[in-house]
Chain A
Amino acid sequence: MNIFRLLGDISHLLAIIILLRKIWMSRSCAGISGKSQLLFGLVYTTRYLDLITSYISLYNSVMKVVFLAASYATIYLMYVKFKATYDHNHDTFRIEFLVVPAVALALLINHDFQVVEILWTFSIYLESVAILPQLFMVSKTGEAESITSHYLFALGVYRGLYLLNWIYRFWAEDHYDLIAIVAGVVQTVLYCDFFYLYITKVLRGKKLQLPA
């Protein structure tokens, strides 16, 4: 474990908690993409299967349970409890265009053609694009509540910190995983224009308004 990965995990946890709390407190999921949340649920489910089989550390197991539980809770709140507030009209990204290529790529490019490894690889590829429906929705609505932008910022920073973690691990432990790194770079790059807007607008107290 290193400080970059720890801060990354904390940022990731913070993002998930911010979102869950926002939906629960406002009893509404307006402005949130349910499709992205479904994709994140799929990412954690396919990646954390080893929760049952392999034990790495208490921290690792606890965080996996928390991520899975929070992800499913968010999906439940969005599609069941506060279903009436779900914004179907703006959450229109075709997620099959993300899932199918991720499956194909996981079958083509992986470290080992085993079920668990393929599922892990699929989850890595899918996670790198899972935020697209949310970013697409923000661009369609033209704005995002500040709490939603804090969620997106924390979520974007988490994988950016993981990039630093991988640099550190390459330097300190002399190993690296190119699949995770390439997908992590793609994932972080997707947030760049949002980071720009967040830093130039939201941090100055303005609402996140995308140029129409």
Chain B
Amino acid sequence: ILNSFQKDEL
């Protein structure tokens, strides 16, 4: 599963 990287983007 693609890791939904920590939402550090706007």
Contacts and interface: CB of A to CB of B under 8 A. Distances in A.
B8 A60 contact: yes
Contacts of A180: 9
B8 A175 contact: no
Contact of B2 (A56, A120, A178): A178
A167 to B, nearest CB: 14
Interface residues of B, number: 10
Contacts of B1: 111
Chain A residues touching B, majority SS: helix
Given A120-B7, A176-B5, A179-B4, 16 more contacts: A50-B7, A54-B7, A56-B7, A56-B8, A60-B8, A60-B10, A63-B10, A111-B2, A111-B3, A112-B4, A117-B4, A165-B9, A169-B5, A175-B3, A177-B3, A177-B4
Interface of B: 1-10
Interface of A: 5, 9, 12, 50, 54, 56-57, 60, 63-64, 67, 111-112, 117, 120, 162, 165, 169, 175-180
20 contacts: A12-B10, A54-B7, A56-B7, A56-B8, A57-B8, A60-B8, A63-B10, A64-B10, A67-B10, A111-B1, A111-B4, A112-B4, A162-B9, A165-B9, A169-B5, A175-B3, A175-B5, A176-B2, A178-B2, A179-B4
